Amino acid sequence: MPEHHYTLGPAKALEQLYPAPDVADKSLEFHDYADVIRHYTMNSLIVDGVEDIQVEVNLEDDAYRVTLEGNTPHEVLARFGERHATIFNKHHAQKAIRGMELLKEFRVWNPMANYHVNKNPNDGLCKWTLFPPLGLNVMGQKGLLLLHYPPWAVPQLGTFDNAITMKRWEQVLMCAGIAPGDVGFYRTFIDVNPIAAPGSGQSEYPNDYMPIMMASAFFDGPPDRDYIKSMLELYLTPPGWPEDRKYTLPLLICGSPLYDPQAPGWFRTSYTDILPQDKDNIPQVNVMQTGKFKVRPDSKRETPYLIGNHMIAAGVTGKCTDQPDRIPDIRQYEAQDLVSATFLKLYTDNPDMDPEDIKRQACQRWFGNPDGTGAPNPPDEKDKRTICALAQMDLFFSALPKPHPTYTFEEAWDRCGQPGVFDNPCGGSIKPPEPNTVPAK
């Protein structure tokens, strides 16, 4: 049976980049850092499609050694191990440690320590821990997302799978035509602030404890702490990327002025020279904006990008209005999110196509025009109902036994097909109640 051994990295660094064993729920039975590393390594193998593998992690000579064994060709195990170790070396994830050290030196690390910042009993008192992309794709991603920071629930549960943000994004990806078994390849992300913290209460104004300037000051900059660009460069070009490929993987930059704008904000401060400007010469990072950029001036390839909403924004700020041509109208949110997912999907089949052309195809499908303007009006009747069904899921939310959409996609689909509804999530018998009676999201 094929077996592969590799050194993941020095214990001193890895024990700062992986959450402490006692952070996780007791049901995970983490006793030491070897258990934590084993768990997240297994998650990455699974999402990369490497199955039936045994993972062993041992601490030897102040470094963590990983052994992979299973019914998989050795070359696959070796490719995974090489990229896994690269992610956590001094040229990539370890740069986040320097950012954390500076945050502590300037006394701005976890400014709300020992106090509650939200009403979620599972979050408890405010806690921060470094958290690079753990348990996500190591080598099989087909697109990349740029987000703000990971919620505390992830190190608690040891997975992103149950996070409501990822659940919704998976549904959007499937609605865009990505097979259920492939959605894991389209949800890999880099955070501009690689710090797990309470899932709300950190970035909603006026409680902005992880602002744009934090990412720019502590996780970007000189070579010893340019964590964000180093990780982007690595993840946008996975192992085996064809030498003749014109672009890297596409990047979806998630966040809008109405909800969690920090990732696009960092992008604007870092790449002002390549961005379009408005009439007042202000660089723009608007939702649905697309283009190309190089992560670094000497990067080998350009990266196609699209600015999208944060994946949970529709469920938090979306509502029915009399202006379906703009957010926060729920129909506009759904169409924009479907364009974002379709943008990533189309690049899988058309990796050398100009991003403007990719965007036009995606907008034609979900808006009925190549610009993505106006009220969504898809040419295909099934796509019209898809927008309606997603909107119903986001408009109706149940808090117990744990937060979840009141309706499944299939139930929402059936609601949109009721007589007199005409696939309008804001009309007929399926319209939401008045705002003062909507269940809290």
Three-point CA angle 133, 19, 94, nearest 5°: 55
Q: What angle do CA 143, 244, 370 make, to 5 degrees?
A: 50
Q: Which pLDDT does position 201 carry in this prediction?
A: 67
Which CATH fold would you assign to the domain 1-89? TATA-Binding Protein (3.30.310)
pLDDT score at 384: 98
Q: What is the pLDDT of residue 435?
A: 65
pLDDT score recorded for residue 339: 98
The CATH class of 117-379 is: alpha beta
CB within 8 Å of 257: residues ≥ 6 apart = none
Distance CA 302, CA 236 (A): 10
pTM, two decimals, is: 0.95
Q: Give the number of other CB atoms < 10 A from CB of residue 52.
A: 10
Peptide bond into 328 cis (omega under 30): yes
The total number of residues shown for the chain amounts to 441
Among 313, 312, 334, residue whose Cα is nearest residue 324: 334
Beta bridge partners of 69: 3, 54
DSSP one-letter code for 161: T
Determine contact, residues 288/264, Cβ cutoff 8 Å: no
Type of residue numbered 252: L
The Cα–Cα gap between 389 and 394 comes to 9
Quote the pLDDT of residue 438: 44
Q: Where are the domains of the chain?
A: 1-89, 117-379, 381-441
H helix count then E strand count, the chain: 14, 12
Write out the E strands in 186-329. 189-191, 195-196, 251-254, 290-293, 303-308
Question: Could you give the CA distance from residue 310 to residue 305 in angstroms, rounded to a whole number?
Answer: 15
Q: What integer pLDDT is reported at residue 204 of this predicted model?
A: 65
First to last CA, the chain: 50
Alpha-carbon dihedral 313, 316, 319, 323, rounded to 10 degrees: -30
Residues of the chain with pLDDT under 50: 436-441
Please count the other Cβ atoms lying within 10 Å of the Cβ belonging to residue 183: 19
> Contacts for 380-387 with beta carbons within 8 Å, 24 or more apart?
381/423, 383/338, 384/423, 385/413, 385/416, 385/417, 385/423, 386/175, 386/338, 387/331, 387/334, 387/335, 387/338, 387/423, 387/425
CA dist 213 and 203 (Å) reads: 13
